[in-house]
Structure 1
Amino acid sequence: MTDWLTTPQGRRIALNRTDGQGPTVIFLGGFRSDMEGTKALHLEAWARAQGRAFVRFDYSGHGVSEGAFEDGSIGDWRDDAAAVLDSVAGPAVLVGSSMGGWISLLLARDRAADVAGLVTIAAAPDFTEDGYWAGFSDAERAALAEAGLVLVPSAYGDPYPITRRLIEEGRNTMVLRTPLSLPMPARFLQGTADEDVDLTTAYRLMEHATGPDLRLTVVKGADHRFSDDDCLALIVRSVEEVLARAGAAA
C-alpha cells in the first residue's frame, strides 16, 4: 500500500513500507525511474521473506510522486531521500541504483551516523557534469543557456528533458571532486556492458572514496539495468553482507 510523505521542503512523495527488523533497507532508484522497477520489487520480496524492514519510494517528479520532473535537481531528490531516511527508525542501509547511487553517496558522506551500510548498483556520481554537460555540443550548451532545457535521446523511452537548473545545481552536489569518506561497509556493483555508466566511473569511485570496508564487484557482461537473475542475487548477497558487517560493528 502506498503511503505519502511531505518533505521539509513541502514536496509530497510516495513510498511503500515493509515492516520488519532493522536496520531498514531503503532502495533509491535512478534518473526518471520509479519504485516499481525490477530491483526494487525483488528487494522488497526478499525483505518480506526475511522479516526485514524495507522502503522503496519515488522522488518528486518521478513515478506517482507529486511534482514535475523538469522542476527537480539532484539536490532536491537528495532532500527527498533524506526525508525518507528521517522517517525510519535508526540507521538504515541504502541501496542506490544509478542516480540513486550518487544520492546514496551524498547521504552516506554527509549523514554517516544515519547510514549503517551502503550498496550501489551502476552508480552514476556527478553524471550531470561528466555525462550530460561534458557530452553536449556547443549548440546544445547554447540552447540550454537560452531556453533552459534540451531534450536528450534515451534508450529507455521518451527523450530526457535536461534543464539548466539540473546541470548548474548538480555542481553543488558532486562527490568525486571533494573528499568522500564512507565509514560504513560499502559495496559497489558494476557491469562491464553498461552503456550508461562507463566502467571507468566505478574505478574512479573506488579510487576516490575512503573507508575501512569498501569493495567493488565487476560483473562481466552485465548491463546498466543489472536485473537478470544473477545480478539480482548478487545485489541481495551484497545487502546481506553489508547488514552482517554493520551488525558486527554495532
Structure 2
Amino acid sequence: MTEYLDTPAGRRIAYRFRDGQGPGIVFLGGFRSDMTGTKAEWLDDRARKQGRAFLRFDYSGHGASAGRFEDGCIGDWLADAHAVIQAVTQGPQVLVGSSMGGWIAILLARAMPDRIAGLVTVAAAPDFTEQGFWAGFDDKQRQALMATGRVALPSDYGDEPYVISRRLIEDGRDHLVMDRPLTLLCPVRMFQGTADRDVPVDWALRLLDHATGPDIRLTLVKDADHRFSTPECLQLIGQGVDDVVA
C-alpha cells in the first residue's frame, strides 16, 4: 500500500514499506524512474519471502510523489531519501541503488554511516550530471542552459523529451563524489553490464579504483544492458544483498 510522508523540506513523498527483520533493504531508484520498476518489485517480493523489512519510494517529481521533475536536483532527492529512511525505518539498512540511486546511496553512506549496513549498486552513476550531461553538451546546448535555465533532451526509451535544468547541473557540482576521497566502510557490491549505453563500464571501473574500504567488489556482466533486469541479473542483485547482509 502506498503511503505518503511530508518531509521537513515540505515535499510530499510516496513510499511503500514492508515491516520485517533487519537489516532492512532500501531501494533507491534511478533518474526519471519510480518505485514500481522491475528491480524494485522483484526485491520487494524477495524481501517478503525472507521476512525482511523493505522500503521503496519515489523522489519528488518522480512517480506518485508530488512536484515537477524538472524542478528537482540531486540535493533535493538526497534529502527526500534521507527523510524517508529516518522517518520509516529503524536500525541498519542495506541500500540498493540503481543508476542515479547508486550516487544517492553513496551520498547517504557518507551522511549517515551509522545507519548503513551495506551498499549494492547497479550501474551506479555518481556525478552523472557533470560527467554525463554537462560533458556531453555541445556549445549551443551549454549556452542555452545558462541563458534560459533549461535544455530539452530526447529520451532513449520512447518517452517525451525531458528537461535538464541549470539548477540540476549546478547542484550536482555540490554533491560530486569522484573529485574527493571516498571511503566506504560498509561492504559494497557493485554490478555493471558491459552493454550499458547509459553508464559506461569505465565509470564502474573508475569508481572501484577511486573508492577505498575493506570490502568493495565489482561484478561485470557481459552483454547486460542498463536495465539489468533479466532473471539472471536480478538473481545477482539478490545474491549481492545476501552477501552484504551476511
The interval holding the TM-score normalised by the smaller chain is over 0.9
The whole-number CA distance in structure 2 between the counterparts of 1:30 and 1:76 is 14
Q: Deviations over 1:149-190 (max 9, x none)?
A: 101111122222100000001000011111111000010100
Q: CA deviation at 1:63?
A: 0.1
Counterpart of 1:224 (choices 220, 223, 226) is 226
TM-score (norm: length of structure 1): 0.96
Corresponding residue for residue 178 of structure 1 = 180
Q: Deviations over 1:79-119 (max 9, x none)?
A: 00101221210121100000000000101122211111000
Report the equivalent of 1:196.
Answer: 198
Question: 1:126 aligns to what?
Answer: 127
Letter paired with 1:234: L
Would you say how many aligned residue pairs link Structure 1 and Structure 2? 244
Aligned residue identity for 1:135: G
> 224-233 or 105-114: which moved more?
105-114
Quick one: distance in 2 between partners of 1:140 and 1:14? 33
Deviation sequence 1:127-149 (CA, Å, 0-9, x none): 00000000101000010011111
- In 2, distance between residues paired with 1:35 and 1:158? 20
Give the Cα separation in 2 of the matches to 1:7 and 1:210.
32
Where structure 2 has 5 or more consecutive residues not aligned to the other structure, the ranges are: none
In structure 2, the residue matched to 1:237 is: 239
* Aligned position for 2:152: 151
CA distance in 2, matches of 1:182, 1:59: 24
Question: What letter matches 2:222 in structure 1?
Answer: K
Report the residue type matching 1:47 in the other structure: A
Whichever residue aligns with residue 112 of structure 1, its letter is: P
Unaligned stretches of 5+ residues in structure 1: 245-250
- Distance in 2 between residues matched to 1:242 and 1:3, nearest whole Å: 28
Match of 2:64 in 1: 64
One-letter amino acid of the counterpart of residue 86, structure 1 = Q
Please provide the CA RMSD for this pair.
Answer: 0.6
Q: Which residue of 2 aligns with 1:76?
A: 76
* Mapping 1:98-137, distance limit 5 Å: 98-137=99-138
- Matched residue SS, 2:192: strand
AA in 2 matched with 1:196: D
TM-score of the pair, normalised by structure 2: 0.98
Q: What stretches of structure 1 move > 3 A for 4+ residues in a row?
A: none
Following superposition, the deviation at residue 23 of structure 1 comes to 1.0
Distance 2:128 2:162 in 1: 14
Supply the distance in 2 between the matched residues of 1:30 and 1:85 (Cα, whole angstroms): 17
Q: Distance in 1 between matches of 2:22 and 2:162?
A: 37
